[in-house]
Amino acid sequence: MNTKLRHLLVAVLSLSNLLYPTTIANTAPNSIGIISIMEVSSSSVEILFDSNLPKKLISYYVINAAIELPVAAPQNSKAQNVVAIAPKNIKKVIKTKATGLITTKVKNLNPKAAYNFSVSVKTNKGKMISSAAVEYSPLSNLMDLLSNLPADWGNPKPIQLPTPAPTTPPIAAPAFTLSSATETRTVNTAATGFTINSTGGAIASFAINATPPGMSFNTTTGALTGTPNTVAAATNYTITATNASGSATQTFRLTVTAVVYTVGQAGPGGGIIFYVAPTPFACGPTLVTTCTYLQAAPSGWNTGADPSLSWATNVNNNRTTTVPAPGAIQTAIGTGYQNSDAIVAQTGNVAASSAAVAARAYRGNGLTDWYLPSRDELNQMCKWQRGITGDALTTLTTVCTGGTSNSGSSATGFVDNRYWSSTEYARDSSEENIARGQNFGSGSQDDLEKSGIFFVRPVRAF
């Protein structure tokens, strides 16, 4: 079989399915209607119709095949004009009173004509009831359509299918390692962090479950950088790498330790550490936090030598009974902050004439927790400025005696004279105008009238 004939047969079959299906359905809801027309041959069909009429009304059925389109006559040498041929209409009588689905065959159709098929029923009263017409054309009509195809139809051009878009192979799931899995840093010391080593597919982004205080995390590079500013026990941080194919995680453990100070070392507030507690002590304005160190304000904290002030402004030289209990009567290490706040709370106290108000107003290195020391805190500061070391320095019951005074040195700048504590003398109400002080020259602890003018040096606990 040559190529053109093969193409022609394929086209005939394709177009016949598109233009003239072999079964034509009718879904008209009439009391009588054609369900389908099935082609048996080029000149005969089988018709399936449905009758919903009662049998007692039916006389017989009539199948009508009415010509719809003329048929063209073939041309010859004598006749050059196309003459229309008019085939006859076909009528078939079915003498039955059956009802429901009925099948019958109609023959002698002109294969080159188109018909309108209908089914009629004649009732026993002589009335004709007809179905809706259904148009039908035999398959042979298709040959006339094919006669007008272009001359080169048998050699069609190849169908140009669209070029498929190139596909990108899926990327591998991410995988990576950290240059370091653990690190320990002292608080406020820059951390080293880690670098990422990718061992899988390209990583689109990084995430971390939490960022250590004072540090930052880069979601593009996965870098953890900065300076941790909060003491923290060993903490695991989960780093997640993600791409379109999945995710992977690694864990980094960071420990942030507190700074360990020694006596005589500069503290974070700019002054000198004069006391290191063997165990942490209660501190702060309400004694609910814990501290380990006491730090003295540096020499010149008041833009010169330590100032001389009264314990409280003159109108507030009585007992601190008008402020929250227990007032300013506490003596222990760590209680000076609460004493100082009680003194400041008395109406009328001002920095120019109150040792506690001046100490609380100091802002060394931007810190706001400076205060006038309690009796025991003042005693520890006195022992340190006299150069006392060992157990005598750390034992709280040891009074400031012995040693060699370093008062007036550029490092400390103390004066060999009396300094105020924030502790009020609380033996009885007859001595309500008495507060505790200490002589940094002799080391003695004194009971001083609140209106007296003595030296002031702020401290802070941390």
Q: What are 67's two structure tokens? A: 């010509």
Q: Are 88 and 73 in contact (CB under 8 A)?
A: no
pLDDT at position 216: 96
Q: Give the residue from 234, 238, 188, 245 showing the smallest Cα distance to 214.
A: 188
Phi and psi torsions of 11, nearest 5°: -65, -40
pLDDT at position 432: 81
Half-sphere CA count of 321, side-chain side, radius 13 A: 7
Q: How far is CA 143 from CA 111, 140, 149, 275, 368, in A?
A: 10, 6, 10, 116, 105
pLDDT at position 403: 76
Cis bond leading into 326, ω under 30°?
yes
Q: What are 386's two structure tokens? A: 């006299």
* Three-state secondary structure readout of the chain: CCHHHHHHHHHHHHHHHHHCCCEEECCCCCCEEEEEEEEEECCEEEEEEEECCCHHHEEEEEEEEEEEECEECCCCCCCCCCCEECCCCEEEEECCCCCEEEEEEECCCCCCCEEEEEEEEEECCCCEEECCCEEECCHHHHHHHHCCCCCCCCCCCCCCCCCCCCCCCCCCCCCEEECCCEEEEECCCCCCCCCEEECCCCCCEEEECCCCCCEEECCCCCCEEECCCCCEEEEEEEEEEEECCEEEEEEEEEEEECCCCCCCCECCCCCEEEEEEEEEEEECCCCCEEEEEEEECCCCCCCCCCCEECCCCHHHCCCCCCCCCCCCCCCCCCCHHHHHHHHHCCCCCCHHHCHHHHHHHCCHHHCCCCECCCHHHHHHHHHHHCCCCCHHHHCCCCCCCCCCCCCCCCCCCCCCCEEEEEEECCCCHHHCCEEEEEECCCCCEEEEECCCCEECCCEEEC
Phi and psi torsions of 10, nearest 5°: -60, -45
- pTM of this structure: 0.54
Q: Give the residue from 89, 88, 103 showing the smallest Cα distance to 35.
A: 103
Q: Domain 176-257 falls in which CATH fold?
A: Immunoglobulin-like (2.60.40)
Q: What is the pLDDT along the chain (462 residues), one digit of tens a residue?
A: 444 444 444 344 444 444 444 444 444 446 899 998 888 888 899 999 999 989 899 999 999 998 876 554 454 544 444 444 456 889 999 999 899 999 999 998 888 888 899 999 999 888 999 999 888 877 655 555 556 556 665 565 666 777 878 777 889 999 999 999 999 999 999 999 999 999 999 999 999 999 999 999 999 999 999 999 999 999 999 999 999 999 999 999 999 998 899 998 999 888 899 999 999 999 999 999 999 999 999 988 988 889 999 998 876 767 776 677 788 999 999 999 999 999 999 888 898 999 999 999 999 999 999 999 999 999 999 999 888 888 778 788 888 987 777 765 545 788 889 999 999 987 666 678 899 999 998 899 999 999 999 999 999 999
Residue type for position 312 = A
pLDDT at position 60: 92
The CATH classification of domain 21-72+82-137, taken from the options 3.40.430.10, 3.40.50.720, 2.60.40.10, 3.20.20.100: 2.60.40.10
The reply to whether domains 21-72+82-137 and 176-257 share a CATH topology is: yes
pLDDT at position 22: 44
pLDDT at position 152: 60
Phi and psi torsions of 188, nearest 5°: 65, 25
What lies within 8 Å, CB to CB, of 409 at 6+ separation is: none
Taking the domains of the chain in order of start, what are their residue ranges? 21-72+82-137, 176-257, 272-461
The CA distance from 40 to 50, in Å, is 20
